Structure 1
């Protein structure tokens, strides 16, 4: 080996060692800064939320506004007063977060809306000789019953003359979610799946009345009922349906309510002098409990794995080595423990902005101060109260279905 080659190897080794040492020192410095910013235990936003306060972005996103007045939700009397005067409260826009514009449908004038409370399907009485089996099957049966709700679904009831196997039940044509549950030979209700070995004496087939694409239409409802009727005829079963015009009216009413509370909050952190180094952002996010997901965004999740809020690039592009602007997104109706989650979200947003020397603003570039964040929080409480009054708790199974 020549002296030139030997010297080149030595110089190369020195350079590699220097780069490694610099990267180690940089990450150590970021972790130390993150530890100072978040050096305290964070409460569980779901477990520590009072029961009465428990309640997912680019398309048609609704953002908090701090100046221009628009529609404002009703505020509840028991919400604590904000740190600003009542006349200074900025409006929280109430609109669509990915929900399609509703299409007009014929409405029956004599419609009386159903009580919007999720009820499990009432099972048949279990023989007195098997009380233990009844207790064991009760949780599974209650879960199956909760998959359908007369306030959220158009439910067709099929009464079979002969038991029907799960493999005989076809997929029903529909533009909305369809769920089928069946009563087994042991008089228990369960979800009908292709892998099930049970046989059923009765089936209930539910078509969801509304989602973020809008309410079910009369054409969609007709196609669904025709598919159900053809299946019932093929097995010589009888089938009964709810009153169609009333259900179409219920779908319109449900969609209008959902649109009024379908809010997506976005808090933006903008670079001032130079882009944010994403390595530092990553360390800060992970220190605060966020985890990088398969979609590339950072997710803050509940203990059950549900996303509570996300951190992305403002332009929704994949993360690179730097970022000019970051956005924290909070899908209000899909998150349980809403006020506690919003508190942690806003605290993390302010700490993140301070740590990377960025500006915390809304989508119009207006600064979000502690007082404006407090005002938004108060109006969110009004939205949560309206959802609770309707019987659709944020983050519940019903909310996840409707705001999908």
Structure 2
């Protein structure tokens, strides 16, 4: 063996040793960083959320008073027992239902009573007890409300419609969106369930270069993924612990497939989540009207007949629902004590979830008409949750404040009853 061969052998061995040593050092450094990151004590995002970060899913129940409507400053409504303190509504204490029955109820009987003494055989139709429900429950009103409810056409969706539907699932104003760019296609079956205490939605760019919603049953593979974590809902704002757990899960998933992931700035998104939650708490209003029995309980057969005549239908939850043409619930009729309906009822409650209803003012007017029809026909008292009678003045003030709530939602870009509203107030 010559000196040249011996030198080359030694140099080659030294080079191999250097490469091996460098790789070992790199592996040690990354292992140390990973252990440091995952060794942090991460609290359970579902069980350890502070109670003061959670707001009730029921919405604020507002009560009306006889006070005259206010024009400028609004005060917080009286909240019923059990509603958390972080519902800082700037509404007056008058808020649970609508009232516009006066002109309706007097329309039919007044003109027909004048000819009553005339013994014409043609007019026996006009009887003394002229039933109130018929003139109040006007079919055109029902149709008008239904038209105001936006009903997206549901039919066979082509590729473009599927892509529009998919991309509409994520909104940077409502979601923390992580973008994953993969070197190789990722099958839908390989996408894990990510840790999160909020709604998570995933859309993917498939081999046809179209975005689609990723579901457990999807058979597509994707070159890009967008993973959205909702910033707020009725349980409160997204917390830092929830966001950290989500980001770690997404990063681990991307590393497993040697993909590149980008995240928005976390601090800015956490602040946006807090602001969004504060706005939602301010407009999250639940309007309730109660019809209480005075002398004897209401017969449920009669209640059912009146409800069906008004367009309500009994649903699987046992409540009567008034729905739009697209099938969305506009308001419900339930037993006043929250128990299942029996043969009779001591009281009825009409509930209207304000931010989840499109065309809310028209629905509120119809809700008020139906409430007065029930009270008049069943000989019951229309009252608020404190048992105080609901007057025209207080209900008119409620309607005015309701219009203000809807205007603020529109200004925020969250239309009442829209997909965004249904997500935030779920």
**Given the two structures, how large is their TM-score scaled by the length of structure 2?**
0.67
Structure 2 residue aligned with 1:347: 369
Q: What is the aligned length? A: 302
- State whether residues 183 and 259 of structure 2, in contact with CA within 8 Å, keep that contact through their aligned partners in structure 1: yes
Query: CA 1:313–1:136 in 2, change beyond 3 Å: closer, same or farther?
Result: closer
- Is 1:312–2:334 an aligned residue pair? yes
Deviation at 1:250, TM superposition (A): 0.3
Query: CA 1:58–1:64 in 2, change beyond 3 Å: closer, same or farther?
Result: farther
- The superposition leaves residues 107-129 of structure 1 with CA deviations (integer Å, 9 ceiling, x where unpaired) of xxxxxxxxxxxxxxxxxxxxxxx
1:291 is aligned, of 306, 313, 320, to: 313
The separation in 1 between residues aligned to 2:269 and 2:72, in whole angstroms, is 42
- State whether residues 314 and 326 of structure 1, in contact with CA within 8 Å, keep that contact through their aligned partners in structure 2: yes
1:149 is aligned, of 167, 171, 187, to: 171
Structure 1 residue aligned with 2:188: 166
Query: CA 1:296–1:99 in 2, change beyond 3 Å: closer, same or farther?
Result: same
Q: Runs of 5+ in structure 2 lacking a partner?
A: 1-55, 88-156
Structure 1 residue aligned with 2:346: 324
The separation in 2 between residues aligned to 1:100 and 1:192, in whole angstroms, is 36
Structure 2 residue aligned with 1:29: none
1:362 is aligned, of 376, 384, 387, to: 384
- The superposition leaves residues 148-191 of structure 1 with CA deviations (integer Å, 9 ceiling, x where unpaired) of 00000000000000011111111111110000001112211110
| Aligned structure 1 segments of 4 or more residues deviating by more than 3 angstroms | 57-61, 84-92, 94-103
Write the mapping of 1:138-217 to structure 2, written as runs, cut at 5 A.
138-217=160-239
The separation in 2 between residues aligned to 1:284 and 1:301, in whole angstroms, is 16
The separation in 1 between residues aligned to 2:78 and 2:405, in whole angstroms, is 9
CA RMSD of aligned residues (A): 2.6
- Is 1:377–2:399 an aligned residue pair? yes
Query: CA 1:338–1:274 in 2, change beyond 3 Å: closer, same or farther?
Result: same
Q: What secondary structure sits across from 1:62 in the alignment? A: strand
2:288 is aligned, of 260, 266, 278, to: 266
2:77 is aligned, of 90, 93, 99, to: 93
Query: CA 1:97–1:156 in 2, change beyond 3 Å: closer, same or farther?
Result: farther
Deviation at 1:369, TM superposition (A): 2.1
Query: CA 1:138–1:166 in 2, change beyond 3 Å: closer, same or farther?
Result: same
- State whether residues 60 and 96 of structure 1, in contact with CA within 8 Å, keep that contact through their aligned partners in structure 2: no
- State whether residues 175 and 230 of structure 2, in contact with CA within 8 Å, keep that contact through their aligned partners in structure 1: yes
- State whether residues 59 and 284 of structure 2, in contact with CA within 8 Å, keep that contact through their aligned partners in structure 1: no
Query: CA 1:100–1:245 in 2, change beyond 3 Å: closer, same or farther?
Result: farther
Query: CA 1:369–1:315 in 2, change beyond 3 Å: closer, same or farther?
Result: same
The separation in 2 between residues aligned to 1:88 and 1:359, in whole angstroms, is 32
Deviation at 1:142, TM superposition (A): 1.0
- State whether residues 64 and 395 of structure 2, in contact with CA within 8 Å, keep that contact through their aligned partners in structure 1: no
Query: CA 1:99–1:360 in 2, change beyond 3 Å: closer, same or farther?
Result: closer
Structure 1 residue aligned with 2:125: none
- State whether residues 63 and 78 of structure 2, in contact with CA within 8 Å, keep that contact through their aligned partners in structure 1: no
Work out which of the two has the higher radius of gyration on C-alpha atoms and give 1 or 2.
Answer: 2
Deviation at 1:97, TM superposition (A): 12
Deviation at 1:262, TM superposition (A): 0.1
2:260 is aligned, of 213, 218, 238, to: 238
Structure 2 residue aligned with 1:130: none
Q: Runs of 5+ in structure 1 lacking a partner?
A: 1-56, 69-83, 104-134
Deviation at 1:193, TM superposition (A): 1.2
Structure 1 residue aligned with 2:61: 62
- State whether residues 141 and 188 of structure 1, in contact with CA within 8 Å, keep that contact through their aligned partners in structure 2: yes
Deviation at 1:370, TM superposition (A): 2.5
